[in-house]
Amino acid sequence: MSTIVAIVGRPNVGKSTFFNRLVQRREAIVDAVSGVTRDRHYGKTDWNGREFTVIDTGGYVVGSDDIFEAEIDKQVELAIDEADAIIFMVDVEHGITGMDEEVANLLRRSKKPIFLAVNKVDNNKRAADAVEFYNLGLGDFYTIAATNGSGTGDLLDAVVEALPEKEEESEEDELPRFAVVGRPNAGKSSFINALIGEERYIVTNIAGTTRDAMDTKYNRYGFEFNLVDTAGIRRKAKVKEDLEFYSVMRSVRAIEHADVVLLVVDATRGFDGQVQNIFWLAERNRKGIVILVNKWDLVEKKTNTMKEFEKHIRKQIEPFTDVPIVFISVLEKQRIFKAIETAVKVYESKTKRIKTSELNEFFLPLVEAFPPPAIKGKYVKIKYCMQLPTPQPQFALFCNLPQYLKEGYRRFLENKLRAAYDFSGVPISIYFRKK
């Protein structure tokens, strides 16, 4: 069960600074490897060993000041609807503003845990000024300074304690889950309808653990799985159909609960920033990924159009370029079953176990033929390797001086492993450990 914490509040109270502090703490450990920093408004973090997704709603407010208020109201309502806990951020320098009161009114009616964070409290005078925020009628508050992190620990302790317990997986959930995600209007629902409409293999429709998402039990190529649709979900009357924030919150839940993510891209719009955000979220969650370029029938073709398009996508997803890309047209029913076949293959690669003896037979001669470069006259000797017992492929290589192994060498070994065992579409991790 994925958990979402949304940070809400009017513009310029420090939501993004706080968000960056949370996400970087995590990225510095986990993502130092890939060196990928993109402009994201959502990311994973953990506190006290509890992982959750955090969303900076401010990143989605568009337009001029006069429409800020309506947009913020909309996002706060969505956050109330979708998030498991909400951090409401205000700014001690400006005191209570009309917009703060507006947000507080919406939050007071909510049944979700609300945490009032008074930001920019970095001295005693400001701590005294913060008392004013009791007037918002949300009870106790936490004084923090997002820029230097003071007070954030107490706030996060309380947030994590309020998050729902992880649900036990039921038998129904043991089937592999393929989530269809992407921007609004990319053709996610049509893709699923095309699959279901043509086939008579469906067993049942079951309400998913991803809130309101429909899981369709589906059988193809003798392989049974749950197809998770994030698009055909009830929409609140007030939510504009194309609101990115809404689609992102749905995608976050679906991705975290999936085994393989089918990322549907609208060929007429290209592989833009928001699509890349969804891609990186799936990659950072270590999910299998297949990119489906839909509406290919609407693109004007020249000799190398497909090759160029594919090259462009691979450039955007460096360094994780070993991802299957399938060009489809849902309308013309072109290659939609090829898409599913590819997803099944990615799932099988993701769950593949390689015997330790076989791994050593593969890695040790490779390392001998291409040893890591010596550093300060010291030679790294890799003695032994094994696959770790994790849900996605992770490998440990035991050696005398793991600290001297550089990122380039890890990448070299990963590429060789991918080529030998076909891990296309699957993020893999290689760790160097001291023997």
Residue 272 sits in a domain whose CATH number is 3.40.50.300
Whole-number pLDDT of residue 88: 93
Secondary structure tally for the chain: helices H, strands E: 12, 16
Q: Cα–Cα distance between 246 and 74 in angstroms, integer?
A: 10
Indicate whether 294 belongs to any domain.
yes
Whole-number pLDDT of residue 208: 33
**Whether residue 122 is found in the same domain as residue 137:** yes
Indicate whether 286 belongs to any domain.
yes
**Whether residue 316 is found in the same domain as residue 184:** yes
**CB contact at 8 A, 53 and 4:** yes
Whole-number pLDDT of residue 103: 86
Indicate whether 167 belongs to any domain.
no
- Burial class (CB within 10 angstroms; exposed 0-12, middle 13-18, buried 19+) of 12: exposed
Whole-number pLDDT of residue 210: 34
Per DSSP, the three-state class of 233 is coil
Which phi and psi angles does 220 have, rounded to 5°?
A: -150, 140
Whole-number pLDDT of residue 48: 83
Directed axis angle between helix 65-82 and helix 244-256, to 10°? 30
Indicate whether 310 belongs to any domain.
yes
**Whether residue 285 is found in the same domain as residue 324:** yes
Directed axis angle between helix 336-350 and helix 188-198, to 10°? 100
Whole-number pLDDT of residue 221: 63
**Whether residue 314 is found in the same domain as residue 202:** yes
Whole-number pLDDT of residue 239: 45
Boundaries of domain holding 261: 177-351
**Whether residue 37 is found in the same domain as residue 16:** yes
Please spell the DSSP secondary structure of 3-29, one letter per residue.
-EEEEE-STTSSHHHHHHHHHHHHHHH
Domain boundary (162, 192, 215) is at 162
Indicate whether 169 belongs to any domain.
no
Which phi and psi angles does 179 have, rounded to 5°?
A: -100, 130
CATH number of 402's domain: 3.30.300.20
What is the chain's length? 435
Confirm whether pTM is higher than 0.85: no
Number of domains in the chain: 3
Per-residue pLDDT of the chain (435 residues; tens, 9 = 90+): 468 888 888 888 888 888 888 877 544 333 333 333 334 577 778 888 888 888 887 755 555 455 666 767 777 777 777 788 999 999 998 889 888 888 888 888 888 899 999 999 888 888 888 999 999 888 899 999 988 888 899 999 999 999 887 655 444 457 788 888 887 778 887 888 787 764 433 333 333 333 345 567 777 667 777 777 765 444 444 444 335 566 667 777 788 778 999 999 999 888 887 788 788 888 888 899 999 999 988 888 777 888 888 899 999 888 888 899 999 998 888 888 899 889 999 999 999 999 999 999 998 888 888 888 888 888 888 888 899 988 889 998 888 888 877 888 888 989 999 888 989 999 998 888 887
**CB contact at 8 A, 16 and 42:** no
**Whether residue 183 is found in the same domain as residue 100:** no
**Greatest C-alpha distance within the chain:** 70
**Whether residue 319 is found in the same domain as residue 224:** yes
Indicate whether 250 belongs to any domain.
yes
Domain boundary (320, 351, 382) is at 351
Q: Which residues are annotated as a binding site for GTP?
A: 9-16, 56-60, 119-122, 182-189, 229-233, 294-297
Whole-number pLDDT of residue 233: 41
Query: What are the distances in angstroms from CA 358 to CA 317, 390, 415?
Result: 31, 18, 17
CA 394 to chain centre: 19
Cis, peptide link before residue 319, omega less than 30° from 0: yes
Q: Cα–Cα distance between 158 and 412 in angstroms, integer?
A: 43
C-beta neighbour count of 280 within 10 angstroms: 20
Q: Which residues are annotated as a binding site?
A: 9-16, 56-60, 119-122, 182-189, 229-233, 294-297
**Whether residue 347 is found in the same domain as residue 375:** no
**Whether residue 414 is found in the same domain as residue 265:** no
User: To 10 degrees, the CA torsion angle through 204, 210, 214, 217?
Assistant: -30
Residues 6+ apart with CB under 8 A from 432: 382, 396, 397, 399, 402, 405, 410
Q: Cα–Cα distance between 358 and 386 in angstroms, integer?
A: 9
Indicate whether 170 belongs to any domain.
no
Indicate whether 171 belongs to any domain.
no
**Whether residue 338 is found in the same domain as residue 361:** no
Q: Cα–Cα distance between 74 and 219 in angstroms, integer?
A: 39
**Whether residue 145 is found in the same domain as residue 182:** no
Domain boundary (129, 162, 195) is at 162
**Whether residue 301 is found in the same domain as residue 326:** yes
